[in-house]
Amino acid sequence: MSEQMKSLRNHFLIAMPQMQDPNFDGAVTYICDHNEHGAMGIIINRPLELRLGDILGQLDLGGQDIDRPIYGGGPVQMERGFVLHSPQGEWQSSLQLSEEICLTTSKDILAALAEEQGPEESLVALGYAGWGAGQLEQEIAENCWLTCPSNEEILFHTPYSKRFNTAIALLGFDFLECRSHLLVRCSRRVQIRIVEKLLCVVGVTPEILHPILSPVCRAVCLLITRNKAHLEGAGNPLRSVRNRYRISLFLGRRGFIAFLLKAGRKRRF
pLDDT value, residue 25? 86
What sign does the CA torsion over 54, 80, 6, 13 have? negative
Amino acid at position 11, single letter: H
Quick: pLDDT tens for 128-171. 999 999 999 998 888 788 888 999 999 999 999 889 888 887 87
pTM for this prediction = 0.66
Between 144 and 82, name the one with better pLDDT.
Answer: 82
CATH fold for domain 11-149: VC0467-like (3.40.1740)
In whole angstroms, give the CA distance from residue 179 to residue 177: 6
Domain extents in the chain: 11-149, 185-263
Q: What are phi and psi of 62, to 5 degrees?
A: 80, -170
Nearest residue to 252 via CA among 216, 208, 211: 216
| Top-confidence range, 76-85, 143-152, 208-217 | 76-85
pLDDT of 227 above 50: no
| Top-confidence range, 184-188, 228-232, 264-268 | 184-188
Torsion of CA 206, 212, 216, 222, to 10 degrees: 0
Chain centroid to CA 19 = 11
